[in-house]
């Protein structure tokens, strides 16, 4: 409990991270409340308000089909939230399992798993995702799974490094001496002490997943219309850039602010969880 208090205190001292955390909380609240706060149905076509500029009736304007842009951006945040958290959850789970096995057992198992990680890292992630999605059904479920299964490698390397260090500690030797099983050593003794860098990686991973989903939707390989996504809203903005600047500006700002906020939170967590900075402050 005291450790959580120290981490919270250190995190609160970083004003930029606090701002980022507030924005992330606000974005999550808005996305969860979308059915109740959106002024219009995001898929309703209104031919009388095609490409209307921002005004009193439509605060952020409308798109080429007369759909309210504010409503579509709010509903698009739900897609980003879903993709970010579920894809990162898949990546974190896979990374922890592979990294823990490699770091705990070492030897041949470690070499095989780490070479597999190296092979995966050799492929440009975005192009690997493009290749997989191009042959699969284009759905939000496919996008989440593919992003998760192509972004676990860094987490695996972080967890492996922590396991290599922690398994030599006295508390692990003591647990082994009283007959603790490998499963108990991994999940009850070592893993809880190896999760700090995973939390930081997860925060950065959410921002990365949102960017990847937006890029895929922008290219027409992600969320398909009429379901709103920040990426496919930008696609319509590209097609109407000369007459409807708001279609590019506002979803672009939504992506920028969201990704920046998650990165600020990740920076704050990284500093708050770094024991080397604690020692530096003591001296």
Token code pair at residue 178:
């009283």
> Is-contact 281 275, C-beta < 8 A?
no
List the one residue out of 79, 7, 67 whose CA is nearest residue 39: 67
Residue 1 is predicted with a pLDDT of: 56
pTM as predicted: 0.86
How confident is the model over 214-263, as pLDDT tens digits?
888 888 877 787 888 888 888 888 888 888 889 989 999 999 999 999 99
How confident is the model over 155-167, as pLDDT tens digits?
999 999 999 888 8
Superfamily designation of domain 2-35+68-282 = MetI-like (1.10.3720.10)
Residue 132 is predicted with a pLDDT of: 79
Q: With a cut of 50, list the residues of the chain below it in pLDDT.
A: 280, 283
Asked if the bond preceding 226 is cis, omega within 30° of 0, the reply is yes
> Is-contact 154 96, C-beta < 8 A?
no
Give the start-to-end residue ranges of the domains of the chain.
2-35+68-282
Residue 178 is predicted with a pLDDT of: 86
Residue 19 is predicted with a pLDDT of: 92
């Amino acid at each position: 409990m005291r450790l959580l208090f120290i981490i919270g205190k250190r995190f609160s001292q970083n004003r930029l991270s606090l701002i980022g955390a507030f924005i992330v909380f606000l974005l999550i609240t808005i996305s969860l409340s979308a059915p109740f706060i959106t002024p219009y149905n995001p898929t309703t076509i209104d031919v009388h308000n095609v490409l209307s500029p921002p005004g009193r009736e439509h605060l952020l304007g409308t798109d080429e089909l007369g759909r309210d842009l504010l409503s579509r951006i709010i509903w698009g945040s739900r897609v980003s939230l879903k993709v970010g958290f579920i894809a990162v959850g898949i990546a974190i789970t896979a990374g922890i399992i592979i990294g823990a096995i490699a770091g705990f057992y070492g030897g041949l198992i470690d070499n095989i798993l780490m070479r597999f990680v190296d092979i995966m890292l050799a492929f440009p992630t975005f192009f690997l995702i493009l290749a997989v999605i191009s042959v699969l059904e284009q759905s939000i479920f496919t996008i989440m799974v593919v992003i998760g299964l192509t972004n676990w490698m860094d987490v695996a390397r972080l967890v492996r490094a922590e396991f290599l260090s922690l398994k030599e500690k006295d508390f692990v030797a003591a647990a082994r001496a009283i007959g603790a099983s490998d499963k108990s050593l991994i999940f009850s003794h070592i893993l809880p002490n190896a999760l700090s860098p995973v939390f930081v990686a997860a925060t950065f991973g959410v921002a990365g997943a949102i960017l990847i989903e937006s890029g895929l939707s922008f290219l027409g390989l992600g969320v398909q219309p009429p379901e709103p996504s920040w990426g496919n809203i930008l696609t319509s903005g590209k097609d109407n850039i000369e007459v409807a600047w708001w279609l590019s500006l506002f979803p672009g700002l939504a992506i920028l602010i969201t990704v920046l906020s998650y990165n600020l939170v990740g920076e704050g967590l990284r500093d708050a969880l770094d024991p080397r900075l604690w020692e530096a402050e003591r001296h």
